[in-house]
Amino acid sequence: MSSWSPSRRRPAAARLVMPLLCLLLALPGGLLLPAGARGGDFRWLPEIHLRGEYDDNVTFDNDHIKSDYVGTCSPKVTFSYLTEKSQIDGTLGVDILRYADETDLNTEYQNYRVKGSRQVTEKLALDAKASFIKDTTLESELRETGLVNYRENRYRYNVGGGATYQLNELSSLALNYTYSKTNYHGDENIDYDAHTVVGQFNRLLASQRDVVTLQPYYNYYDSSVSTVNNYGCQLGWNHRFSETLEFTAFGGARYTHTRYDQWERWRLPGPYPIYILVKERETDGNWGGVADVTVKKTGELWWGTLEYSHDLSYGSNGETLKHDRFSCRAGYRLTPRLRASLSAAFSWSKSDDEYSDEDSEYYHLQPGLSYNLTENHRLGLSYRYAHVYDKTLRHDQKYDRNRVWLTLTFRFPER
């Protein structure tokens, strides 16, 4: 378990990431946007979302089920700064959640993101990014790993950057690095750091509709209970059948080496039963496949996206997971102002080694309607059904959650 106390977690990591956020925001006078390029186009779009929701299982529990009404106020600002050779985009958003009865669940989510790019030469481009996200494991870990975890506040800090070099009109090389730090407010989950390095070689084929990509990558995860080295390589293909239909597929292999620190109870020799805790170090290595497939289609009145992924993820208990996820999203314009939408996802999550026993299935289905009251005001109604089958539980392995909410969105004119 991490030795950081909850009271120290946010300031320590914030001292690392928040100055980088400020640096990127100041980049119009810095590396990516030089001081002489002050004639750029700055735009910002403020929004506010008001949401009233009924949730029949607010902690998504299989045993102690509690229902409640939730009110959410979400102000957000999206901004961009563009010059001939440089660009900055960012989002600053907060979600303020208030529960009618379960007031101990009241919280504020935060989402601050900024990224910038600079065309240094005709062939070389640089980019940088930073973000801070505060949310809860109930939403974030479920989306990333397919597992329902004990509800805790989660703080994630990301910084990174990269470079792209255009070899010629048809080929390019890219290299990107991202550092991520994930902290939990409490002792139910385990803090960890992650480093990711991704390389890319892209080749546009003579058809002008196909791009072939070779993508080697490396992931490193480090926590108080495990250290993971994950090496992989994928071959990708992007094909545009038409202006309205696009297909992308990646597939390849990975090798994962994991080191676990396990605590074992040993009995000391002697006539009396005396036990001590001893840390045992175990290692595991295995091969696996990776895949990522996306199909996008747009029509005159509708659009749809299908996605499938098979990859390795890292859980909040310090374990590696094989994660398969299939999802789809679609929308249809019923009238000039009324639109219908549907999203669904199904995922399988299973431990990738012999030292943990995670084995879970999850799916959700979410239909919705939205109506444009004016150009900048929208009313929405949505319902989500979610179901979990957790095979590691001794009883009540299958449980679900129903949510219905009404949303009013105010978009102010872009400035």
What are the domain boundaries of the chain?
A: 6-411
In the structure, what pLDDT confidence band is assigned to residue 2 with cuts at 50, 70 and 90? very low
Looking at residue 410, its pLDDT comes to 94
Please say whether the beta carbons of 33 and 27 come within 8 A: yes
Average pLDDT, the chain: 87
Averaged pLDDT, 339-347: 97
The percentage of the chain sitting over the pLDDT mark of 70, rounded to a whole number, equals: 85
> Binning pLDDT at 50, 70 and 90, where does residue 354 land?
low
Fold of 6-411: Porin (2.40.160)
Output the DSSP codes for 95-158.
EEEEESS-GGG-EEEEEEEEEEEEE-SSSEEEEEEEEEEEEEHHHHHHHHHS------EEEEEE
Least confident of 72-81, 248-257, 270-279: 270-279
**pTM passes above 0.85:** no
Would you place residue 260 in the very low, low, confident or very high pLDDT band (cuts 50, 70, 90)?
confident
Region of 321 (left: φ > 0; alpha: ψ -120 to 50; beta: rest) is beta
pLDDT in tens, 200-221: 999 999 888 999 999 999 999 9
pLDDT at position 321 over 80: yes
Calculate mean pLDDT across residues 310-322.
87
Taking 60 as the threshold, does the pLDDT of residue 304 lie above it? yes
Write the DSSP assignment of 229-289 as a string of letters: EEEEEEEEEEEESSSSEEEEEEEEEEEEEEEEEEEEEEEPSSSS--EEEEEEEEEEEEEEE
Banded pLDDT at 338 (limits 50, 70, 90): very high
pLDDT for residue 5 is more than 70: no
Q: How confident is the model at residue 396 (pLDDT cuts 50, 70, 90)?
A: confident
Region 225-231 average pLDDT: 92
pLDDT bracket for residue 23 (50, 70, 90): very low
Q: pLDDT above 90 covers what percent of the chain?
A: 68
In the structure, what pLDDT confidence band is assigned to residue 319 with cuts at 50, 70 and 90?
confident
Q: What region, left, alpha or beta, does residue 301 occupy, with left being phi > 0 and alpha being psi -120 to 50 degrees? A: alpha
Task: Examine the pLDDT at 259 and tell me if it is beyond 60.
Answer: yes
Q: Which pLDDT score is estimated for 188?
A: 80
